[in-house]
Structure 1
Amino acid sequence: MRDPFEESLRDLLNKPSIRDDDARLGRVLKTANRQVGAGDILSLIGCWLQALLIALSGGSRHVMPASRRHSPSTSFDKAD
């Protein structure tokens, strides 16, 4: 299976450069760190949004307060 992220990093690593190998490796790792960090942040936002929607849907039953007035369905014929 083709991974475009891995291919872009491989191309960046194999790109001929006047600089030394350490600088090239540093550039590749910096790019990988940014892309992975961005994915983690988007995942965190997605989980946060999901939790927010679950909280809102769970609390929607409590939007309208229930009446405390009950119909007189209790009987006064109880023995003490």
Structure 2
Amino acid sequence: METAEKELTLEEAFLRLEEVTRALEDENISLEESFTVYQKGMELLKYCNESIDKVEKKVLVLNGEGKLDEF
């Protein structure tokens, strides 16, 4: 994934995923272009999943006994 993509907020990445979906739904898209757009979408999806995983890990907190609890 491009370095610039790593600087996206999760919301921006979701908006770009919507753009990818719209592009793939366009019946005038060429096969070659659809593969390129699809690949970009998969990279964005991976980025979103990684971002969500990071947030989920931050939501875990230590309790008084030193065990992790979900927040």
Alignment TM-score, normalising by the size of structure 2: 0.50
- Higher RCO (C-alpha under 8 Å, 6+ residues apart): 2
CA separation of 1:49/1:4 partners in 2, compared to 1, >3 Å: closer, same or farther? closer
> Structure 2, unaligned stretches of length 5 or more?
1-13, 67-71
Q: How many residues align?
A: 50
Partner of 2:32 in structure 1? 23
Higher-Rg member (1/2):
1
Assess if the C-alpha contact under 8 Å between 1:13 and 1:24 holds in 2. no
Stretches of 4+ moved more than 6 A in 1?
none
How much is the aligned-residue C-alpha RMSD, in angstroms? 3.1
Identity of aligned residues (%): 10
Partner of 1:42 in structure 2? 51
CA separation of 1:50/1:4 partners in 2, compared to 1, >3 Å: closer, same or farther? closer
> Structure 1, unaligned stretches of length 5 or more?
63-80
Alignment TM-score, normalising by the size of structure 1: 0.46
